[in-house]
A and B are shown apart, each in its own frame.
Chain A
Amino acid sequence: MAERRGNWDMAEDDLPVYLARPGTADQVPRQKYGGLFCNVEGAFESKTIDFDALSVGQRGSRTPRTAKRETGQEARSSASDSKNSPCVESPAANRREGKDSPQVEIRTGGGKEVLQNLGDEKSDRLLIKGGRIVNDDQSFHADIYLEDGVIKQIGDNLIVPGGVKTIEANGKMVIPGGIDIHTHFQMPYRGTTTVDDFAQGSKAALAGGTTMIVDHVIPEPGSSLMEAYDQWRQWADEKACCDYSLHVDITHWNDSIKQEVDNLIKEKGVNSFQVYMAYKDYYQMSNSELYEIFTFLAERGGIVQVHAENGEIIAEEQARMLQMGITGPEGHVLSRPEELEAEAVFRAITIASQTNCPLYVTRVMSKSAADIISQARKRGNVVFGEPITASLGTDGTHYWSKNWAKAASFVTSPPLSPDPTTPDYLNTLLSSGDLSVTGSAHCTFSVSQKAIGKDDFTQIPEGVNGVEERMTLIWDKAVTTGKMDENMFVAVTSTNAAKILNLYPRKGRIAVGSDADLVIWDTDSLRTITAKTHNSVAEYNVFEGMELRGAPLVVICQGKIVLEDGNMHVTSGVGRFIPCAPYPDYAYKRVKARKQLAVLRAVPRGMYDGPVSEFSMSRGGTPSASARTSPTKQPVRNLHQSGFSLAGNPALCGPPTPDDIPIRPAGRRIVVPPGGRSNITSLS
């Protein structure tokens, strides 16, 4: 682990932090494979750049290769509809290069050696013997019997029907399948689409041990949330290979959006909504709008997600960079310094605290943003932070790569921090529980799509890969290094996400009645990440060359084996939409308790009867002049609208009048002054 990357100048480590330059203090061996700034060898071998796909408005036929795969998968899925027989693809045949054979064998069949690929009717009955079940709270040895996609029995010496397919786990860990809480598959972007659609993306997810993804619905500003939601449902239902759920992004705010949000929560199974503090003049919300959205969602039991960056300052900085002639991908990170991320996180937390709304910060990319979150949690705020695979695994020094395509492939927002100690720091906070969940923000574009911004970094489509690498990377960075144990690993990769989305214990736990989404985890597997072998369509992998320990050996999704021996058996379109109910206990128990405490009372006073100065209303007359356009304006006093504040708000229990509270209750404090009431009329 002592390998240093290249011959950076290490002589000036004592410079103050603000003078440090990217890449100078690196201590983490990041790239063992290939030079840091080299092209990925072989990354393009199996990929054809398809010019047809680059034209506008032809989402359906992107690349010949993809198109071929889609048709193939459609055929397969139609076949599976009738025959229920998954097809076999083995793109990962060369994944274990350098290793002779999988170190743990999987034996099937209770003496009958039923081959799972034959697809007989018993294939949805499965017995996992001799595994060590790892939940977020404990690990124990037990057998698991699955049927109809649900865990039916857990224990020793289970009584199961004869002829059931059996996996001998040999003491390996059996963990709940991962939940990738943040993906952008098949995301439209200015007429093109991210290269990984729901089929390709969810296949990559399964290959990495993730059995459920939560994608973001991004309606164009001005369009209907509901239509966008239906569109995404349609795409995902057609193609997803694993269960999925959806976040909806609120890209503009008015009364009709409010109504749609209400419907989505009540009827469509969406409980999380993302707002943007960046992308000025496009997605960005003002502070007042944020306040209103937070207030609204807090009433409805939703989770507010924020994309936290100060868009106004970014716009100024971008203009300045371009003016200075910096047009390459390094301009992306230079114009979005991590301070702006931290500032926006701070602001979002302040607003969430004012509105007593649970907050979820997507894509925690920098130390300072993570620090703000952990400080807020220490103060008692209900806030969750989501680092992504990229921020946990790599850093932003690559933006200075001489290879434009490589540098551009790292472009995402907020950007990867150029501080090379960031991944380690974020992994530590993830292990300590200050950061709660992990996503991938998987949103891949091909080089030719990234090249839209070849002369202007602000035009580069944003997004990195990570859905496939997420579990392995966290295992390698956090568990093998001893930062967290296997239970915490399960918590951050699966259980916490299920709790926040109110899917627990259906997802995120191995228990009787839970969905049969399981992963048999191999702690000893060692593999090298490369674009040559990954399941994404993108030509670059931001983790290129990393050697990572730990990988899924067998992945079971909906009770079916989808990965074994490095072979994928995925079926496009089998993924179900999992509706999420509002008011997840994990976030809302505390919020509800605070609401009850947060009733404000006015001070009873005599009428002021003294002289009143004349004044003009020429300015300062309307403190809330924005109320005109505000959809949350309510004439009736709403008890859910809470004034709870962490700042030691003194009015939590307003002065109780002696007649309604005769005895001082515990936990309440009396703030009636000892001098008693005095009326203003005593003013001479």
Chain B
Amino acid sequence: MSTAGEVPAFFKSMGSDSPARPRQKFCGMFCPVEGSSDSKTLDFDALSMCRGKSDGGSGCEAPPPPSQRQVAQQAWMIDYTVCSDRLLIKGGKIVNDDQSFCADIYMEDGVIKQIGENLIVPGGVKTIDAHGRMLMPGGIDVHTRFQMPDRGMTSADDFYQGTKAALAGGTTMIIDHVVPEPGVSLISAFEQWREWADSKSCCDYSLHVDITEWHRGIQEEMEALVKDHGVNSFLVYLAYKDIFQLTDAQVYEVFSVIRDLGAIAQVHAENGDIVAEEQRRILEQGITGPEGHVLSRPEEVEAEAVNRSVTVANQTNCPLYVTKVMSKSAADVIAQARKKGTVVYGEPITASLGTDGSHYWSKNWAKAAAYVTSPPLSPDPTTPDYLNSLLSCGDLQVTGSAHCPFNTAQRAVGKDDFSLIPEGVNGTEERMSIIWDKCVVTGKMDENQFVAVTSTNAAKIYNLYPRKGRIAVGSDADLVLWDPDFTKIISAKSHNSTVEYNIFEGTEVRGGPLVVISQGKIVLEEGNLHTTEGSGRYVARKPFPDYVYKRIKARSRLAELRGVPRGLYDGPVCEVSVTPKTMTPASSAKTSPAKQPNQPVRNLHQSGFSLSGAQVDDNIPRRNTQRIVAPPGGRANITSLG
């Protein structure tokens, strides 16, 4: 490490300069996890095609994780006698994103009814004594992909298993992604996901919808989803060439539509064209293992796509949300764009905050493949620390998990070609603890900021606030009693996911939930989960969230563009040949749903706001916020031309 210290940064090779940070305390770094398959049966039936739903049963009723509690058992005074939807929590320290204070909480029917001292509550109510521990709003995992179909397979955790894992980690709401196959209607895909989730989910959930192709019908469906189905966020892909990827012009149109609908534009930011070229090149070189995945998707390609989507969002005055911020350079692009005033949010995920991409070079194929996700984990081992810092200072705002694990047999589809490995890592269960351990324990952020990045900001962006993301009278009774002294070692042996590998295997984390209350019911106590399949409700979200759209609306109003009034040009005009240079500036208009050809009414949402300072408002009596750009020399007509 010392000898090569002067080598320029771009020659640095992976892993060798990783700080002496104990990442893996449990078993060797490259060993398979001992015992991780003990309680799991590889269900070969589940691996065959067209059997999306029946594989939940085999591993789901795993015994509660043994010996999770490392700390001394606290005194609990829980009265089990009365009906369970009335609950009093005494002596807790309520932590919201803005302040912490000590108060009791009384909840009934899944809603917080009273907060304060000496509450007057009905007799015989179940009471939890918090002993001064922190009580925070339940986490919101903004990015999950439970039960996601991929080429006939389904991701290993279905909505039951996934939400159970979420609750075990202190997350009481998840927002899943609906991924319609290109050619499939958004609405029918949405309804399919609703059906899956309603029947299995153990906690409240909501849904993002991914835009995987673009035509006029999609625009109408988006409108219907926003107005009738409570969806206010859509994801577009800049990667997955020839499958999901949209062109820049299409992205521009999608963003324009999203802005008009008052929704949030999410983007999977990687340059799919370059990735496709690189994949081909890497395969040609005979690199077929998981290391090819990260070699073909260097972080520059991620940063480039983030930069491009920020540009398009600025042009369309559309709020942007970058999913899966995996690298320093992508995070930097977001931070810079925010400094320039762009309305953009960045979502690092558990994996990028907790581990790095050096594992792609693991000799153990199955382990290396378990880390495959897109954008990939950065091989730079300083990345997690950097992202945690940006999360703490507010340059990144929300955290998801992008939980989409596949088991080893499913990953092995790509055993001879890394580009076929199904993508996704685990993280929904570990998310809160990892962030607490990496950020709060290290002093990067305080408990209030912790609540903000795990719950409140997500609720604000997706217009769930203050129903979710805050402990206040009238909010949903989704609470977590947090134990900062709790320690545990993450392992595939004890986690709630069904996969054999946990990418955080052996990481020791401090901080964890002692009690989790979802919908006013205790779902986790003393390490025991009491989840009910199908109890999760769909939470509809309204468009135009204030947190995002207040600024967008203000800019739209400012963004009126006017032409310069001039005399008619009456000089000579050169003739031109028939082949014009730029024939039709918008030749994509044929297929473009965002074009409204006959738009007699000026759409105020269609904004010409631009950051480059190019607005004109002349010929108008000067108002407060307007500048006059009429030239001092007065008008000059072109007729003065010689």
Contacts and interface: CB of A to CB of B under 8 A. Distances in A.
Given A44-B642, A616-B49, A55 B299 contact: no
A351 B272 CA distance: 12
A354 B380 CA distance: 17
A322 B611 CA distance: 20
B49 A612 contact: no
A325 B576 contact: no
Interface string A290-318: 01100000000000000000101111111
B152 A618 contact: yes
A1 interface: no
Contacts of B15: 650, 669, 671
B577 A56 contact: yes
B573 A448 contact: yes
Contacts of A328: 563-564, 566
Contacts of A190: 576-577, 579-581
Interface stretch (B362-370, B427-435, B523-531): B362-370
B582 A458 contact: yes
Given A611-B47, A669-B13, A647 B276 contact: no
B289 to A, nearest CB: 5
Interface in B283-315: 284-289, 291-292, 294-295, 298-301, 303-304, 307-308, 311-312, 314-315
Contacts of B564: 328, 330, 400-402, 407
A343 interface: yes
A84 interface: no
B82 interface: no
B3 interface: yes
B274 A683 contact: no
Contacts of A115: none
Contact of A671 (B13, B287, B577, B589): B13
A622 interface: yes
Give the dominant DSSP class at B's interface.
loop
Contacts of B181: 619
Interface stretch (A158-166, A171-179, A276-284, A477-485): A276-284
A636 B579 CA distance: 42
Contact of B412 (A292, A612, A655): A612
Contact of B569 (A326, A449, A451, A615): A451
Interface string B359-390: 00111111010000000001110000000000
A192 B308 CA distance: 36
A313 B631 contact: no
Interface in A631-680: 633-635, 637, 641, 643-653, 655, 666-671, 673-680
A93 B308 CA distance: 52
A623 B241 contact: yes
Contact of B614 (A21, A346, A645, A677): A21
Contacts of B629: 8, 21-24, 400
Contacts of A581: none
B569 A454 contact: yes
Contacts of A291: 273-274, 277
3 closest Cβ pairs, A-B complex:
A650-B14, A287-B273, A319-B586
26 contacts: A17-B613, A24-B629, A49-B642, A54-B573, A57-B577, A280-B582, A286-B273, A291-B277, A310-B248, A328-B566, A342-B311, A354-B301, A402-B636, A404-B566, A610-B409, A613-B412, A620-B240, A623-B241, A623-B419, A624-B241, A624-B276, A644-B10, A649-B14, A652-B13, A677-B363, A680-B364
- Tell me if A's interface is mostly helix, strand, loop or mixed: loop
Contact of A287 (B152, B274, B366, B581): B274
A13 to B, nearest CB: 11
A684 B567 CA distance: 83
Interface residues of A, number: 160
A56 B42 CA distance: 75
Contact of A613 (B308, B410, B558): B410
B55 to A, nearest CB: 11
Name which of A333, A539, A608, A652 has the most chain B CB atoms within 10 A of its CB: A608
Nearest to B363: A677
Interface in A333-373: 333-334, 337-340, 342-343, 346-347, 350-351, 353-354, 366
Interface size on B, as a range, is: 35 or more
A264 interface: no
Nearest to B182: A619
A457 to B, nearest CB: 9
Interface stretch (B27-35, B165-173, B216-224, B483-491): B27-35
A451 B571 contact: yes
Contact of B248 (A312, A380, A683): A312
A121 interface: no
A620 B151 contact: yes
A620 B638 contact: no
A324 B636 contact: no
Given A286-B273, A319-B589, A350-B274, A36 B412 contact: no
A350 B303 contact: yes
Contact of B280 (A49, A602, A623, A680): A623
Interface in B399-417: 407-410, 412-413, 415
B414 to A, nearest CB: 9
B114 interface: no
A612 B289 CA distance: 15
A221 to B, nearest CB: 10
Contacts of A404: 566-567, 569, 638
A673 B29 contact: yes
B271 A20 contact: no
Interface string B340-352: 1100000000000
B433 to A, nearest CB: 26
A668 B11 CA distance: 9
B71 interface: no
Contact of A637 (B285, B341, B602): B285
Given A624-B279, A673-B362, A651 B572 contact: no
Contact of A614 (B48, B285, B612): B48
Given A12-B627, A342-B311, A605-B364, 13 more contacts: A44-B641, A54-B573, A288-B274, A291-B273, A314-B585, A401-B631, A404-B638, A602-B287, A615-B151, A622-B242, A647-B300, A649-B14, A674-B28
B540 interface: no
A446 B612 CA distance: 29
A597 interface: yes
A452 B574 contact: yes
A677 B29 CA distance: 11
A56 B571 CA distance: 18
B572 to A, nearest CB: 4
Nearest to A457: B563
Given A319-B595, A333-B614, A645 B298 contact: yes
A403 interface: yes
Given A334-B614, A610-B408, A350 B301 contact: yes
A191 B566 contact: no
Given A280-B587, A419-B612, A625 B286 contact: no
Interface in B23-47: 28-32, 37, 42, 44, 47
Interface in B503-528: none
A39 interface: yes
User: Which of A12, A418, A634, A666 is packed against the most chain B CB atoms within 10 Å?
Assistant: A418
